[in-house]
Structures are given as structure tokens and as C-alpha cells.
Amino acid sequence: MIALEGNGHENLIVTDGERNQVPAIRIVIAEDQAHVRRGAAHLLSLEQDMEVVGQACNGAEAVELARVLQPDVILMDLHMPVKGGVAATREIIQMLPATQILVLTTLHDDETVFEAVRAGAHAYLLKDAAEDELLETIRALKRGESRLTPQIARKVMDQFARLAAVSTLGPNREESAAPSSPQKGAGAAGEGRAEVLNDKEQRVLQLISEGLSNRQIADAMYLAEGTIKNYVSRIMEKLHANTRIALALISKGQARQK
């Protein structure tokens, strides 16, 4: 076991474990509460296909561990000192797009989760989720899947709905509404409002919310898969979203407003 000291803390622990057959899922835990961090590490260490390679007590340490260790999955608390989980998630995703971020949150944290979704996190679980749900979510992330529990989805959907509502305004209405719009603060500070989606982009967004892959959307719309990828990129840019989870929530938010 190699202990890396950081900011005077006992964490930043890296454990080299031996695994047979399929390589273990390499996990970093970022959590400022030591008992929670250690409990999660103990639980995951009992699984043959998982290995906790590092622990951090704040977002800055999480970013540094991610850079050094390049883990498969990071369990990310949102409220940590020095650097919060949202900022850490954004930096890690930009630096290591293949690393999957699993946000652990509470039902009372919908606004911060909203920002974490936009930062690019791949899955979201409540901190009181069952152990089996946590383990299955980690394995799903390793397979390239995204997960969002229904409870969290409901809590953050209204945040996305307010942002997405602007995309349904025509250019003239959007301009006239700009000075007094109460929804301007829905996104991160300094970001512009969502742009208008055309009919095909709205259709692609709807199919994303139904869980279809780019290939399935291409088949449904009789278009090339590369064309759909371009549509998805434009939609993400217009709606200031970084993940398909964000797009799905925006689409569901639009549906609830109709």
C-alpha cells in the first residue's frame, strides 16, 4: 500500500491489489467524510471485480488522483472543501473523457446535481442507495452505460425544463423576453440561453430521451449514423448539455410543460 500525503490529510491512499482473470474496475473515492469514504472503500474491496486505488477528501485531491491513476470510475461527493464535486467533475471529464463519474448525492441537492449533470457526470445515486444498487451502477458504468435514479431525475428535471423552455421560443420572442426572463439563472453563471432547435433536432432529442442509441435513431429517421452524431453534437451545444443524460432530462422537461 502506498500512502500519498496531501494537504496534511491521511487520505490520498493508493492500494495495489492483485486480481485474476478480468482486470478489476479501478475506483477512486472522493468524499470529505472519512467514515463514509472508508465504509465505501471497505464495501468495494470485498468485490472480486473491483479495486479501490485511491481516496480523496476534497475535489482538488480527486482531480490530482484522477490525473495520476486514471481510474475507470470515480465516486464523487458534491460538497467538499477546497474544490467542490461539480468543479472537480468538469476538470476530470475534460482531462480524462474515458473516466466515468458516479455522483453520490441527497434528495435535497437538486440544484447542485443539475450542475453536475451539465458538467458531464455519467451516473447519479442517492447516498442511502442499497449496496447492490451501488455495485451494479459501478459495473454499468464500466460497460459504458449511464444511470440516473428516478428520484433524482424528478428533482432535477424542472431545472432542465426551465432551460429547455427557452429553446421552444422563436428568435423574436426570445429576444423580447431576454430583459425580464426569470429563467436566466437556470444554467451556470455567465452562460447564454439555449438556442432554438429545428424539427429534426427536436425529433433526435425525443428519441434520445427514449433511450435509443445513435444507430437506432439513424434507423428510425432513415439517416446515416454520422449525421445523427452531428445532430447530437449540435443539440448539446445549443442546450449547453455535456451528456446524453442531460439531453434526456431536457426532453422530459419539455414534455412535462406541454
Tell me if residue 118 falls in helix, strand or coil. Answer: helix
pTM greater than 0.85: no
Tell me if residue 103 falls in helix, strand or coil. Answer: strand
- Residues 135-163 have pLDDT tens digits of 999 998 888 777 777 666 666 666 665 55
**What is the pLDDT at residue 46?**
95
CB crowding 38-75: b at 16 or more within 10 Å, else e: bebbeebeeeeebbbbbbbbbbbbbbbbbeebebbbbb
CB crowding 18-29: b at 16 or more within 10 Å, else e: eeeeeebbbbbb
**What is the pLDDT at residue 188?**
39
Checking if the pLDDT of 15 tops 60, the result is: no
Sign of the torsion formed by the C-alpha atoms of 129, 27, 79 and 187: negative
**What is the pLDDT at residue 184?**
35
**What is the pLDDT at residue 43?**
95
**What is the pLDDT at residue 216?**
87
Q: What residue type is assigned to position 26 of the chain?
A: R
- Residues 71-98 have pLDDT tens digits of 999 999 999 999 999 999 999 999 998 9
Mean pLDDT in the chain?
Answer: 76
Distance CA 197, CA 206 (A): 12
* Backbone angles phi and psi of 215, in degrees to 5: -65, -45
| CB proximity list for 182: less than 8 A, separation 6 or greater | none
| CB proximity list for 200: less than 8 A, separation 6 or greater | 221, 231
Distance CA 11, CA 13 (A): 5
Distance CA 20, CA 24 (A): 8
Distance CA 234, CA 227 (A): 11
**What is the pLDDT at residue 150?**
67
16 vs 35, residue with greater confidence: 35
Distance CA 171, CA 169 (A): 6
Distance CA 79, CA 36 (A): 13
Tell me if residue 53 falls in helix, strand or coil. Answer: strand
- Residues 161-213 have pLDDT tens digits of 555 555 544 444 333 333 333 333 333 333 445 567 888 988 888 887 776 77
